[in-house]
Amino acid sequence: MALFETPVKKNVPLGVFLIRKNLITERDIDTALAYQKEHPEKKIGEIFHTLNLCSDDELLKALAERLGCKHYILPKNTFEKFNGGDYIPLDTMRQNKVVPFGFTNSEKKVLMVAFANPEDENVKRRIDLILRSKGLTMEVYVTFASYIDAMFEELDKQTGTSNEYVVEGQDTTQLVDNIIRSGMNKRASDIHFEPMETRMRIRFRIDGDLIEVTNIEKSKIDYIVGRLKAISNMHQEKKGNQDGEITAYKDYNIRVSSQRNIYGEKFVLRLLKKNSNIKGLFELGFPNDDEVIKRSFDRRNCIALVAAPTGEGKTTTLYSVMKFLMKPSINITTIEDPVEIRVPGLNQVEVTANNSFADHLRTILRQDPDIILVGEIRDQETAEIAIQAGQTGHFVLSTIHTVDALEAITRLKKLGISSYDIGSVLVTVIAQRLVRRLCPKCKYEREFTDEEKKEFDAVGKRYNVHFDYVGKKAYSANGCEYCNNTGYYERIAAIEILNVNDELKDLITDERPAHEIRQAAYRAGYQPLVIDAFNKVLDGVTTIAEVQKKLAY
């Protein structure tokens, strides 16, 4: 069977399929469905296993038959017998619930990989691409997620991962402090404290990906919650959603958000480093071309926007633009929610509950600014005042939530801005996505695979671009202590730049259809960000697997 072929039997509901094989009864299904109502995150097959409604071997064998693959019961000591981390990064295994456990034969070309959910085609493609980059293919097996969890728990015990955070006899104050300081040391942008049925899960977001680092026993959860509320200046008695701030750490401002879920109160800590160095635009991933940057940002009487979803580095890009534009002769004022980095030489204003972006923007126009940075255009009032500022001699920089640069035009229209106003002041839109950089300490060189070359050719054909991969080397993630065994270290922006020329201004003002504006943008040299992302693969900065994970193209 082909790797991604869908067997006909998958169309039959699992419960019905198991009844037909005399493995469970209708009463068992009712029991499993009742359990699923209380545990909606669990799949029905895993529930049959959890409730021990039939033997694991028979259940897995039936699942494998239905999915058109093989089955395997993973022992806890799998990593002692086979070091799967040599082929798939441990971080990738944890996140995708997959584990390699051996080769099919002595030639070591086909790796046996156990999946908790072989029906997830995106995960299978991701793993397949990683293995093909190493000259391997895979044979798919199904196993239970609980087996994979138990295997990693055993690995953590052996490596001491959990004991780094949860030490016998350690009090709550020490425990919370150790977790927070560990997140800082590992470059986490966020720390998640997540209550679950029998434990509290701790995860760090590092370079955009959530990584599970430890679990805390259920008996300590109330103490952890109390400690987090105390240091965040939250109400101890209140069980609903709250916002707070931790100021006890010298080099960090920590924003805290709590939200009640079905198991208790979840906390997310956003770690904001004080006075962190602002990177230059070229370091972030922009073209190493001064003329391109000047044409995009060194302007007056206009607006420039950075467009991307949440968490894709828009604010970082704005700070880098400010660094590029700052001069003693220029008055730059920012309006931010909140001020994340304090920068000497900037007049930084923070949005409060009583003063919105629009309120501050009105006042700033009377403060003789040359350049105004508005943290985000999120409503009609802010957009209208920003447009007015751009029309009256100021250069306005802001962010907007859209999937690409051209969609920013549509978004402004939906906010109630006229086509004439958009066409008259909008000069540049930068769209970006952050992809992880390969770790410089452990990345290794190899040849591009045939599948990767096909990806280059397919993307190039779609956008009429030629990728010259002949004679160039590909690089792959390996994993080491420096990068927390992920194979990646920090992130870089894949970008697209839309410079609004006279033809585009006329089309926008005349309210021409979006497809006409897009075609004119292509004629003017606009290229979608996937082109920049694939060029960064050619430069050995990232991988096609990482690009595929972050970009829809």
Encode 252-287 in three state secondary structure: EEEEEEEEEECCEEEEEEEEEECCCCCCCHHHHCCC
> Is 60 exceeded by the pLDDT of residue 41?
yes
The C-alpha angle 475, 480, 486, rounded to 5 degrees, equals: 70
Of 132, 151, 170, at which residue does a domain stop?
151
How many structural domains comprise the chain?
Answer: 3
Q: Is the pLDDT of residue 508 over 90?
A: yes
pLDDT (average), residues 95-107: 88
Strand ranges inside 410-508, DSSP E: 426-438, 444-446, 474-476, 488-499
1 part of a folded domain? no
In a domain, 360, yes or no: yes
Does 267 lie in the same domain as 194?
A: yes
Provide φ and ψ at 419, rounded to 5°: -60, -35
CA distances from 116 to 45, 67, 286 (A): 10, 12, 39
pLDDT at 349 over 70: yes
Confidence of residue 191 (pLDDT cuts 50, 70, 90): very high
Does residue 232 fall inside a structural domain? yes
Structure tokens at 133: 């980059």
Q: Is residue 174 in a domain?
A: yes
What is the C-alpha to C-alpha distance for residues 371 and 129, in angstroms, rounded to an integer?
46
Task: Say yes or no: 115 and 178 in one domain.
Answer: no
Tens of pLDDT along 519-537?
Answer: 999 999 999 999 999 999 9
Task: Give pLDDT, residue 158.
Answer: 61
Going by pLDDT thresholds of 50, 70 and 90, the confidence category of residue 163 is: very low
pLDDT recorded at residue 161: 46
Domain check: are 101 and 245 in the same one? no
Alpha carbon distance 347, 361 (integer Å): 13
- pLDDT at 287 exceeding the cut of 90: no
Instruction: Note whether 365 and 424 are same-domain residues.
Output: yes
pLDDT at 91 over 80: no
Using 50, 70 and 90 to split pLDDT, how confident is the model at 378? Answer: confident
Is residue 429, in this structure, part of any structural domain at all?
yes
Q: Are residues 265 and 285 in the same domain?
A: no
**Average of per-residue pLDDT across 366-388:** 88
Q: What is the mean pLDDT of residues 436-460?
A: 92
Which whole number is the average pLDDT over 351-379? 85
pLDDT at 388 over 70: yes
Say how far apart CA 514 and CA 54 lie, in whole Å: 57
State the amino acid at position 10 in one-letter form: K
Distance (Å, whole) CA 46 – CA 67: 15
Q: Which has the minimum average pLDDT: 180-194, 311-325, 421-435, 457-471? A: 311-325
Q: Would you place residue 480 in the very low, low, confident or very high pLDDT band (cuts 50, 70, 90)?
A: confident
Beta-carbon count within 10 A of 482 CB: 12
Residue range 398-444, pLDDT digits in tens: 999 999 999 999 999 999 999 999 999 999 999 999 999 999 988 88
**Residue predicted with more confidence, 391 or 275:** 391
User: In which domain, by residue range, is 77 found?
Assistant: 8-151
CA pair distance 314, 56, nearest whole angstrom? 48
More confident of the two residues 81 and 234: 234
Q: Identify the CATH number of the domain in which residue 201 sits.
A: 3.30.450.90
Question: 276 pLDDT band (50/70/90 cuts)?
Answer: low
Pairing of strands 371-374, 332-336: parallel
Average pLDDT over residues 98-124: 90
CATH number at residue 527: 3.40.50.300
Report residue 162's pLDDT band, with 50, 70 and 90 as the boundaries.
Answer: very low
Q: Which two tokens stand for residue 294?
A: 């000047």
Q: Point out the least confidently predicted range of 324-338, 431-445, 490-504.
A: 324-338
Pick 76 or 189 by higher pLDDT.
189
314 and 444 share a domain?
yes
Q: Are residues 504 and 530 in the same domain?
A: yes
Inter-CA distances, 140 with 88, 116, 329, Å? 14, 10, 64
Mean pLDDT over the full length of the chain: 86
Question: Which amino acid appears at position 210 of this protein?
Answer: L
Task: Judge whether 156 lies within some domain.
Answer: no
Q: Is the pLDDT of residue 160 over 60?
A: no
- CA gap 97, 43 in Å, rounded: 13
CATH number of the domain to which 37 belongs = 3.30.300.160
Q: Provide, rounded to the nearest whole percent, the portion of the chain with pLDDT above 90.
A: 38
Percent above pLDDT 70 for the chain: 95
What band does 125 get if pLDDT is binned at 50, 70 and 90? confident
Same domain, 478 and 342: yes
Question: 3 in a domain, yes or no?
Answer: no
Given 127, 151, 175, the domain boundary residue is 151
Co-location of 301 and 242 in the same domain: no
- What's the pLDDT score for residue 157? 65
**Within 13 Å and on the Cβ side, how many CA atoms surround 503?**
12
Judge if 289 and 393 occupy the same domain. yes
Mean per-residue pLDDT, 5-9: 45
Give the confidence band of 164 by pLDDT, cuts at 50, 70, 90.
Answer: very low
**CA proximity to 196, closest of 116, 269, 261:** 261
Give the per-residue pLDDT at 59: 86
Instruction: Supply the pTM of this predicted model.
Output: 0.70
Domain annotation covers residue 86: yes
Closest C-alpha among 225, 150, 152, 149 to residue 194: 225
Which of 273, 294, 311 is where one domain is finished?
273
The C-alpha atoms of residue 265 and residue 200 are separated, in whole angstroms, by 10
Residues 522 and 394 occupy one common structural domain? yes
- Mark whether 205 and 127 lie in a shared domain: no
